[in-house]
Homo-oligomer: A and B are copies of this chain.
């Protein structure tokens, strides 16, 4: 089983997503939540970096946090899976460990 990395900050504000993508092993999963959902959006300055990382890691994003910020699932980069809190819990069980990038 691979590791799950969870990122709760916007890539515009912090370096946590960049650090995560730099150190996450190939095959691991990354969940974007809280302000981190901004990293899952299309057409931003950071979209390409995230899309390019999809060859190495799989991305998930927390839907309730997208909606809270007035964004919508249609703006999520293709290939990133939108999940809810139940899905978040399932993700943690499906991976061997959970690392928070604080």
Contacts and interface: CB of A to CB of B under 8 A. Distances in A.
Interface of A: 12-15
A44 to B, nearest CB: 13
A15 B15 CA distance: 8
Nearest to A18: B12
Nearest to A13: B15
Contacts of A15: 12-14
Contacts of A14: 13-15
A14 B15 CA distance: 6
Contacts of A13: 14-15
Nearest to A10: B15
A61 B69 CA distance: 36
Nearest to A16: B13
A12 B13 CA distance: 11
